[in-house]
Structure formats: structure tokens, C-alpha cells
Structure 1
Amino acid sequence: MTTPTTHDTHNETGLPADEISDSRVSRFGVDGTGVATDDYDRAPSTEFGTPAAHPRTTRVVVGLDGSAESLDALRRGILVATGANASVQGVVVWHNPSAFGSYGFSDWSPRADAEQIMADAVDQVFDGSAPAWFTQTIRQGYPAEILIDESRGAEMLVVGSRGHGGFAGLLLGSVSTACAEHAHCPVLIMHDDR
């Protein structure tokens, strides 16, 4: 299996440099392959431009978990998709914690929580109405496994990481690390130092 190559947002998206001037892309790995990280200090714009008239034949997959980092990942995924004329697929993964059984959780539904995470993302990023080029995927399983599976045939996988900034920020979460190591496409990991 090949390791996804580092994605240099300045060269491959086709976006003007001022659109992404707030990012720092770093390379990891001895041979120059590895993980692209995107750190920035300001919130990304919510203006994404007008979709192209011809159909979008590729897609950018974005992992969503309800965190601010995942919403930033969605915004950045949209910018990447716009430059590549790709659709965007938001993915929320839920897991039924069978270790707890049903004791004390009779009214709780992890699937309903996942649906709410997706609805909140659409609300916050698209003002409540998702465009036709945005698809919503909600699956049961383990986040890293599902995101890696969904990365098949994708232009890019974008995920957030709850990093710490500075040197400690190089320590990626287990989901983002697994995606970087095993995804079937380039992976962009978003960090936020807010």
C-alpha cells in the first residue's frame, strides 16, 4: 500500500494564493511523503463562489464530528473542491457503545446524535440549506475505518485534529493519524490554534 502524498494547497487546488495565505503546510516523513497540515489563525470565509456549470466528477471527503476543527475542515474541503470542480461529501460516523449495554441509556441514540452533528454542520456552514454538490453520509462503525473506506476514489480526505499548537501540535489524533497512514487519497489535516 502506498502512503498518500503530501498535498501542497498552493499548487494543486488552483485557488489564488491570497485565498489560502493563512495556511502553513508541513511535510512529514523521511522521503517527503506524509501528512499535510493546515494551521491558521483566522476563521475561513464562508463565501465559496458559484459552482461550475459542468458536472462535478470527483469528490472531496470531509470527516465531521461536531468539533470546531471539523467545521473548519469542511470549509477548507469546500475551497479545495471548488478549485478542483469536485463535489463535497460530509461523513459523520457513529458507534454504538455495546460495552455499556442499554443500562441508563434507553433514551439515547448515537445515530440521532450523528444526524444532529450533520444538521448542525449544514446549518453553520451553508446557512441551513446544503447545495446539490454536497452529499451527506452517516455510517455506523469506527471513524478511522469508515473515513479510510470513504476515501476510495476521492480527490482528497480532509479531517480536523484537536492538536495543541506548537511542538505539541505535531502530535496528531488517532483518527487523523490512521487516515494519513491508510487513506486511498491525499489527506489534509486541519489544526486550529484558537
Structure 2
Amino acid sequence: MIDNAAAVPIIVGVDGSAASVEALVHAATIAAAFDTPLEAITTWTYPVMVDPFDPSTDWSPKEEAQRLLDESVREAFQGAPPDRFRASTLPGPAAEVLLEQSNRAAMLVVGSRGRGGFSRLLLGSVSTACASHARCPVLVVHAPAALNI
């Protein structure tokens, strides 16, 4: 049973993929059932080829992560997120950040495959790392079959 007094959140890794949006929907159902906060996290890093200090670079991975997070929240909740919901973007590799966040989570929820990766893999590298190394229970959610491309 989740301790409501501590207000330990259920944390969801969101990357804009169909599986991560489905994970957000499932996590919201669980959070409501246990009356605990829900937190969506999208991570970002600078690709090796992008110089963050180059003034001619107008693309920002942080802004792209925020856009993906906002779109995912709109899709999952039709624009009306649940009470006690928080969304944030954090710098760093997804698996590393989510594993660190698992220290303060009642549960970690991730999609089976993210935006990258190979379509024939059952689990992506982030979901595999989280399932193997998180410090809390982990739920790995697959996208609905029609969207699982």
C-alpha cells in the first residue's frame, strides 16, 4: 500500500511516443486509485553535434522536450490533467534521470519503447534499465496494438 501521508509520487517517463502516452494514462489511473500525486518527466540532452554556446543555433533540446511533454499531456488527458499532477523536464540521459528519480517514487511507469530504437525489440533500453535497476516498483506499458509501430 502506498503511504498517502508522505505524498510519494508515481513518476512517469514521457518521451512523446505512443507507449509513453499510454504509460501516462495508466499511471494516472493508478495514482487516482491510491490517491497519490502523479509526476511526468521528460529528459533532454544536447546531441554531440550541437554546440549549446553557438549563437546561430536556435534549436533547443530543452524546448523540444517541453513541447513533447506538453503534447503528451494534452493527448493523455484531452487537455485536462488530473489533480495533484506535475510535469517537468530534467537534463540528462533518460535512464539515468529516471533511475535517480526512482529514489523518491512510489512507482516508476515507462513505455516499453520510446521514440528511438528498433521496432522489433520488446523492450527499449530505457525501460530495460528501469525495470532492472529502479529502487521502486516499475510498470512497463506497451502502446495499444494499433499504435505499436
Question: What is the TM-score when the length of structure 2 is the normalising length?
Answer: 0.81
- Tell me which residue corresponds to 2:142: 191
Aligned residue type for 2:78: D
Please list, as runs of the form range in 1=range in 2, the aligned pairs for 1:147-158 lying within 5 A after superposition: 147-158=98-109
Task: Summarize deviations over 1:86-120 as a string: whole Å, max 9, x none.
Answer: 110000000111x20338x8121111101101111
Structure 2 distance, partners of 1:185, 1:93, is 19
The answer on 1:58 being equivalent to 2:8 is yes
Q: How far did 1:56 drift?
A: 7.8
8 Å Cα contact 1:56-1:85 kept in structure 2: no
Structure 2 distance, partners of 1:59, 1:116, is 23
The match for 1:127 among 78, 86, 94 is 78
- Tell me which residue corresponds to 2:27: 77
SS class of match (1:58): coil
Please list, as runs of the form range in 1=range in 2, the aligned pairs for 1:23-38 lying within 5 A after superposition: none
Work out which structure has the larger RCO, using CA pairs closer than 8 Å and 6 or more positions apart in sequence. Answer: 2
The match for 1:90 among 40, 48, 69 is 40
8 Å Cα contact 2:41-2:88 kept in structure 1: yes
What runs of 5+ residues in structure 1 fail to find an aligned partner? 1-11, 14-53
Q: How far did 1:55 drift?
A: 7.4
Structure 2 distance, partners of 1:137, 1:159, is 15
Aligned residue type for 1:154: A
- Which one has a bigger Cα radius of gyration? 1
The answer on 1:100 being equivalent to 2:49 is yes
Structure 2 distance, partners of 1:77, 1:130, is 12
Percent identity over the alignment? 38
Structure with greater helix percent: 2
The answer on 1:173 being equivalent to 2:108 is no
Question: What is the TM-score when the length of structure 1 is the normalising length?
Answer: 0.63
The match for 1:112 among 38, 63, 67 is 63
